[in-house]
Amino acid sequence: MSNMLHRTIHLFRKGLRLHDNPTLLAALESSEVVYPVYILDRKFLMSAMHIGTLRWHFLLQSLEDLHRSLTKLGSCLLVIQGEYESVLRDHVEKWNITQVTLDAEIEPFYKEMEQAIQALGGEMGFDVLSSMGHTLYDIRRILDKNGGTPPLTYKRFLHILSVLGDPNAPVRNLTAEDFQRCKPPSALGLVEGYQVPRPEDLGIPQQSQSPWRGGESEGLQRLEQHLKNQGWVASFTKPKTIPNSLLPSTTGLSPYFSLGCLSVRSFFYRLSNIYAQSKNHSLPPVSLQGQLLWREFFYTVASATPNFTKMVGNPICLQINWYQNAEGLHKWRMAQTGFPWIDAIMTQLHREGWIHHLARHAVACFLTRGDLWISWEEGMKVFEEMLLDADYSINAGNWMWLSASAFFHQYTRIFCPVRFGKRTDPEGQYIRKYLPVLTNFPSKYIYEPWTAPEEAQKQAGCIIGQDYPFPMVNHKEASARNLQLMKQVREEQYGTAQLTRDDMDDPMEMGLKHELSEENPKKGKRARNREQT
Amino acid sequence: MKRGRKNSENKNSSLEEIGEESKKQKIADEESTKISESPDWGNLLPDIILQVFQYLPLLDRAHASQVCRRWNQVFHMPDLWRCFEFELNQPATSYLRATHPELIKQIIKRHSNHLQYVSFKVDSSKESAEAACDILSQLVNCSLKTLGLISTARPSFMDLPKSHFISALTVVFVNSKSLSSLKIDDTPVDDPSLKVLVANNSDTLKLLKMSSCPHVSPAGILCVADQCHGLRELALNYYLLSDELLIALSSEKHVRLEHLRIDVVSENPGQTHFHTIQKSSWDAFIKHSPKVNLVMYFFLYEEEFDPFFRYETPVTHLYFGRSVSKDVLGRVGMTCPRLVELVVCANGLRPLDEELIRIAERCKNLSAIGLGECEVSCSAFVEFVKMCGGRLSQLSIMEEVLIPDQKYSLEQIHWEVSKHLGRVWFPDMMPTW
């Protein structure tokens, strides 16, 4: 190892922040010049994930913000459009680069990119430095502690964490001095081709009705507001909703964690301090810290499970014969199910890019095991496109959860698309806001307007079947059928279901499985064999 | 063994011939003998190959069968074709693979008389159900012990013309004569075809699952109960349950029933009225089969529960797949002393404290409970667990069901409950997305 200082490109992928950025800090401490680069490889991004308009806006805003923050410290963000490998090749040569630093990510497409960059480094003679900045822990340590495989239940996961101790502390803040030493030629940032593009430059619609603005600064501001009310934080318990929390949150942070505009470690430690001071907080999982741990759990499982975002070839996922129903999927996606609770949620999702997690549970259950029996992969793709906090591991993990394909086994709990909404917001304020066509229905009917007599519909100025669709399924029948299907699947794939299940505490004829019926004596072996095929 | 033979051969040769040339020749012969008689995978005993093949999934076995003639012969031995699951999926409508049509042809051609335990898994398309019927109609040489028709998505057998389905099914009923287990939920089976089943298999039938078979009438199922005295497991919809049926299942000639599952659903849209069963019928039933598991699934609206739980009901496993009122749960506590397992999908916003305590008091056999969208105060919950104690081997409560009160917060609850259960317990959690 030479003592020579590097000429470094720091590659931002996620991790769009300056606070608690260990990789960037390492870059600054080891270099004589650092080029903060974001490669906007559109083709790569679009092949890796679905990105809708709102997400593009959020990303571009975050890049703008990063650029401003870097400029304040005497540096700048260099956004380069193009295919990442050739961009790197060109600029490594142009700028005489000896080191590329980047956060390690667990998504397969990012891992592949990192490998390609390593290979390029070998070829062109530059070092590659990567460290985990996006999670609380180094995921590999968690896997190690669990014998090389991911803990597949949340309880087991918490147990492993308790053995590991607290996560790594956030690293120190960057200063102007750090950048003073390492600044790239200052003119670069002003040159065409290195600026953050505007939406219209990328052919993306300009308008965005979303109240969420991207970027580290916005994220930090929200964080402060969030933490300001210490008493509230300390008593944040179960997700019992009040209608207001369905509305766009002014202190919501999930999209900022997703893109790495905020550091999860910093948040974790801020919360720990608050808890230490308050007397009456609730332990994970319902606490805010618990939310971070759920995220970590899904990241861990995703990092070590092949085909995590698919059903076929995914060892922890039940293989279910979901309906291929393009029309049904379309209605769900376009908020035309005829169930106001579901449609209002999907409308908010389109318009704003964020919905409360209970809302996510409702629409996810409705699409999959509750009513439509459509594959969770379809829902996951729609969420990926629309949700500002769409995240490879968390999205897939939660969809498998909600569809009872993995992790979740109390499949008898089917959320009712009428009752669930009624409990959450009895007056229907949420419905009225996002589905104005139903505004004039009295609260009695607003969750099931098809039950309103003709007169009432006329009075409300909305005829069901005309101005607003009929319900697309009979929930009672659909859910009854789906319950049986799910039961059958689980009996047949008992082994797979057990993988992500805690040992006990789940009734549904547990004691009666395969004991009474006199069937094929070889079935056990065959069933095992079939699972292996 | 072979080696032994080889050695004795050599010995004989060396005694017979003395000349060096002959010895050399013999040595050369030895070598080639060694090569041709060395242990050979192809020469394994068929029984051994069969044993190994039984562990292989079908696809691997099929590949193995291409290795040599001996292995191919073993592949086609009857033992390997006793049970088969036909998976019928249309690529346009299913994510899962289907059994290869060529394989299906082969099975019908060479192995249909070996088949004994057969199931058909069909997806939601009519073509798959048709293909299943097609195969069924060709199983004339079969004497099946088990037959299962399983819809993995929409009930596609119901899309078929009824006569088409019935004639295919009848082929099996008539030819099998020793059917022991039959699963025909969600099919258009009817009374006459049940008569055919009974006429040919009454001595052997032990298990019959036929939930959601709308063309069967109470008389049709009664015929089965009257004739099939060995029936031990039965699953059907509530409308088929009658006093006569329960009496028939309790006749002297009938074996003890082990498992009766009843789905209580509205058969027609708007149906709110359900017939009643006499208490005396249930009493006779339990007297005859005191250990029977009586499983009841309810998919009703709250106002439809009127005829139920008005007197002692011998149900052991009770599922409320939708919302059920406090009032009904209260009645359950009063009338279900045999209750072993209770799952409530949803209730409402008022706490179920009294109802749970009563169930703990009066359902002394309760060992499993699951609560979904309900509310219970922490104190009442602790009391409930205390009363049940260690007999609760399954306790599944969503976190948000529990309401903290003066005495207990959510943290404390987990300790108290664990203490009374004698094991570590947590409520079920949902991730905050």
B185-236 per-position pLDDT tens digit: 999 999 999 999 999 999 999 999 999 999 999 999 999 999 999 999 999 9
**CATH H-level superfamily of B300-432:** Ribonuclease Inhibitor (3.80.10.10)
Q: Tell me whether residues B95 and A155 touch, CB distance under 8 A.
A: no
pLDDT of A188 higher than 70: no
User: pLDDT class for A420, splitting at 50, 70, 90?
Assistant: confident
User: What's residue A509's pLDDT?
Assistant: 54
User: What's residue A504's pLDDT?
Assistant: 56
Residue A524 three-state SS: helix
Residue A296 is assigned to a ligand binding site = yes
Is B317 at the interface with chain A, CB within 8 A? Answer: yes
Q: Tell me whether residues B58 and A533 touch, CB distance under 8 A.
A: yes
Lowest mean pLDDT segment, chosen from A182-191, B297-306, B332-341: A182-191
Question: What's the average model confidence in pLDDT over B256-275?
Answer: 86
State the span(s) of chain B assigned CATH 3.80.10.10.
300-432
Name which of B181, B232, B345 is nearest A519 (Cβ-Cβ): B181
CA distance B191 to chain A (A): 23
Q: Tell me whether residues A488 and B92 touch, CB distance under 8 A.
A: no
Residue A25 three-state SS: helix
User: CA B369 to CA A78: how far, in whole Å?
Assistant: 59
User: What's residue B405's pLDDT?
Assistant: 86
Lowest mean pLDDT segment, chosen from A80-84, A239-243, A306-310, A384-388: A239-243
- A241-258: burial string, b at 16+ Cβ within 10 Å, e else: beeebbeebeebbbbbbb
pLDDT of A131 higher than 60: yes
Identical fold, A1-134 and A135-169+217-304: no
Name which of A254, A416, A508 is nearest B346 (Cβ-Cβ): A416
User: CA A397 to CA A105: how far, in whole Å?
Assistant: 17
Is B432 at the interface with chain A, CB within 8 A? Answer: yes
pLDDT of A512 higher than 60: no
Give residues 220 to 279 of B whose Cβ lies within 8 Å of A. 232-233, 258-259, 263, 265-266, 269
What residues in B contact A375, CB-CB < 8 Å? 95
Give residues 452 to 511 of A whose Cβ lies within 8 Å of B. 474, 476, 479-481, 483-485, 488-489, 504-511
Any idea which residue has 């992928």 for tokens? A13
Write phi, then psi, for B327 (nearest 5 degrees). Answer: -60, -50
pLDDT higher at A287 or B346:
B346
Tokens of A73: 């410290």
Other Cβ atoms within 10 Å of B253 Cβ, number = 9
Lowest mean pLDDT segment, chosen from A96-100, A227-231, A498-502, B149-153: A227-231
User: What's residue B5's pLDDT?
Assistant: 42
Q: Tell me whether residues A518 and B180 touch, CB distance under 8 A.
A: yes
Is A155 at the interface with chain B, CB within 8 A? Answer: yes
pLDDT of A18 higher than 90: yes
Question: What's the average model confidence in pLDDT over A106-115?
Answer: 94
In the CATH hierarchy, which fold is given to the domain comprising A1-134?
Rossmann fold (3.40.50)
Question: What's the average model confidence in pLDDT over B255-275?
Answer: 86
Task: Quote the longest CA-to-CA distance of chain A.
Answer: 84
Residue A401 is assigned to a ligand binding site = no
Is B214 at the interface with chain A, CB within 8 A? Answer: no
Residue B6 burial by Cβ neighbours in a 10 Å radius (0-12, 13-18, 19+): middle
Question: What's the average model confidence in pLDDT over A475-498?
Answer: 88
pLDDT higher at A53 or B266:
A53
Q: B313 — alpha (psi -120 to 50), left (phi > 0) or beta?
A: beta
Residue A222 burial by Cβ neighbours in a 10 Å radius (0-12, 13-18, 19+): buried
User: What's residue A194's pLDDT?
Assistant: 87
Contact B297, B266 (CB under 8 A): no
Could you write out the DSSP letters of every residue in B52-78?
HHHHS-HHHHHHHTTS-HHHHHHHTSG
Name which of B345, B349, B425 is nearest A423 (Cβ-Cβ): B349
Question: What's the average model confidence in pLDDT over A179-190?
Answer: 73
pLDDT of B147 higher than 90: yes
Residue A267 is assigned to a ligand binding site = no
Alpha helix (H) residue ranges in A75-147: 84-95, 108-124, 139-145
In the CATH hierarchy, which fold is given to the domain comprising A326-501?
DNA Cyclobutane Dipyrimidine Photolyase, subunit A; domain 3 (1.10.579)
Residue A268 is assigned to a ligand binding site = no
* Signed CA dihedral, A90, A94, A100, A101: sign only: negative
Domain spanning B45-80, CATH class: mainly alpha
Tokens of B87: 């998976």
pLDDT of A307 higher than 90: yes
The CATH code of domain A135-169+217-304 reads 1.25.40.80
What is this structure's pTM?
Answer: 0.85
Question: What's the average model confidence in pLDDT over A91-105?
Answer: 95
Q: Tell me whether residues B150 and A488 touch, CB distance under 8 A.
A: yes
Number of Cβ pairs closer than 8 Å across A and B? Answer: 199
∠ Cα A220 A221 A223 (to 5°): 60
Q: Tell me whether residues B428 and A410 touch, CB distance under 8 A.
A: yes
Alpha helix (H) residue ranges in B293-424: 326-335, 353-362, 378-388, 410-421
Q: Tell me whether residues B410 and A522 touch, CB distance under 8 A.
A: no
Is B124 at the interface with chain A, CB within 8 A? Answer: yes
Q: Tell me whether residues B399 and A238 touch, CB distance under 8 A.
A: yes
What amino acid occupies position B296?
M
User: What's residue A180's pLDDT?
Assistant: 86
Question: What's the average model confidence in pLDDT over B87-101?
Answer: 86
Q: For chain B, what is the mean pLDDT?
A: 87
**pLDDT per residue over A443-466, tens digit each?**
999 999 999 999 999 999 999 999
User: What's residue A507's pLDDT?
Assistant: 58
User: pLDDT class for A358, splitting at 50, 70, 90?
Assistant: confident
User: CA A452 to CA A2: how far, in whole Å?
Assistant: 79
Question: What's the average model confidence in pLDDT over A132-153?
Answer: 94
Contact A437, B399 (CB under 8 A): no
pLDDT of B29 higher than 50: yes
Residue A293 is assigned to a ligand binding site = yes
Say which DSSP state A282 is in: P
ipTM above 0.85, yes or no: no
Contact A425, A418 (CB under 8 A): no
Name which of B153, B206, B299 is nearest A480 (Cβ-Cβ): B299
pLDDT of B299 higher than 80: yes
Task: Report how far apart the first and last C-alpha atoms of chain A are (Å, whole number).
Answer: 49
Lowest mean pLDDT segment, chosen from A174-183, B107-116, B262-271, B361-370: B262-271
User: pLDDT class for A531, splitting at 50, 70, 90?
Assistant: very low
User: What's residue A515's pLDDT?
Assistant: 37
Kindly report whether the peptide bond that precedes residue A471 is cis, defined as omega within 30 degrees of 0. Answer: no
State the span(s) of chain B assigned CATH 1.20.1280.50.
45-80
User: CA A483 to CA B380: how far, in whole Å?
Assistant: 30
Q: For chain A, what is the mean pLDDT?
A: 87
User: What's residue A506's pLDDT?
Assistant: 56
| Every domain of chain A and the residues it spans | 1-134, 135-169+217-304, 326-501
pLDDT of A505 higher than 70: no
**pLDDT per residue over B381-433, tens digit each?**
999 999 998 899 889 888 778 888 888 887 788 888 989 998 888 888 788 77
Give residues 351 to 410 of B whose Cβ lies within 8 Å of A. 368-370, 372-373, 393-396, 398-400, 404, 409-410
**pLDDT per residue over B121-143, tens digit each?**
999 899 999 999 999 999 988 89
Compute the residue count for chain B.
433
User: CA B242 to CA B222: how far, in whole Å?
Assistant: 8
Task: Tell which residue, A94, A100, A86, A72, has the closest CA to residue A183.
Answer: A72
What residues in B contact A401, CB-CB < 8 Å? 430-431
User: pLDDT class for B343, splitting at 50, 70, 90?
Assistant: very high
Contact A94, A196 (CB under 8 A): no
Question: What's the average model confidence in pLDDT over A462-488?
Answer: 91
